[in-house]
Amino acid sequence: MKTVDRNTRASKKGKFIYCPECGAVARVFHFSWCAVTCCSCGEMVDKSKWLLENPKFPRPEGELPFSLVFDRAYGSFVHKFNEKHLFDYGYYLLDVDSSGSREVWCLLPIEKTDYDDVEDLPQWIFDDFLDWISQRHRMLPEDFSICRRMRDPGLGIMLPEDFEMLEKGQLPDGVIQLKSTFKP
């Protein structure tokens, strides 16, 4: 694997580098540093050990990827973000599930379409998405019913706080209460 060396340069849009410990992607705009802490695994990694190619570490068994969980009513914002921003980096966000007012978007390389090829959504892409929404639409994460980077919550998009609501007898977003008319 090719690593960062003294001749490595970044463009105006930055350069992707990959953590040799966990494979997480980071974007840097210059190389005038000697070490950086990986935002994913927390390891302090020397500049010369960062990788320039994705090492494709396998995800632990049963662990779902980090995804964008976003307000379904504003899905067009994600499509525009793909078009105006992510395509330039060779990625796009694909909507993989929706329930109630929520929609899950997973990160894929442009040439891929299968959920098995999904990559973790890096924090910097989520931050860029928030900045893009703020600049283009003058909206903040609080303005949406949900705007969160988290592990894919799975089918039905059940969030941790939804289980608390169910325990209290309340119905979370997207859950439909069924009434049985069956009489024994």
pLDDT digits (tens, 9 = 90+) for 13-51: 888 899 998 888 888 999 999 999 988 788 999 999 999
Confirm whether 11 is domain-assigned. yes
Confirm whether 171 is domain-assigned. no
> Residue 32 is part of which domain span?
1-57
Last residue of a domain, one of 57, 75, 98: 57
Closest by Cα among 161, 57, 64 to 106? 64
For the stretch 60-95, pLDDT in tens is: 788 889 999 999 999 999 999 999 999 988 899 999
Domain count, the chain: 2
Name the H helices within 39-177: 75-84, 123-137, 160-167
22 and 75 housed in the same domain: no
Confirm whether 169 is domain-assigned. no
Confirm whether 166 is domain-assigned. no
Confirm whether 19 is domain-assigned. yes
Confirm whether 165 is domain-assigned. no
CA 38 vs CA 47, 91, 124, 131, 151: distances in Å: 11, 21, 12, 22, 18
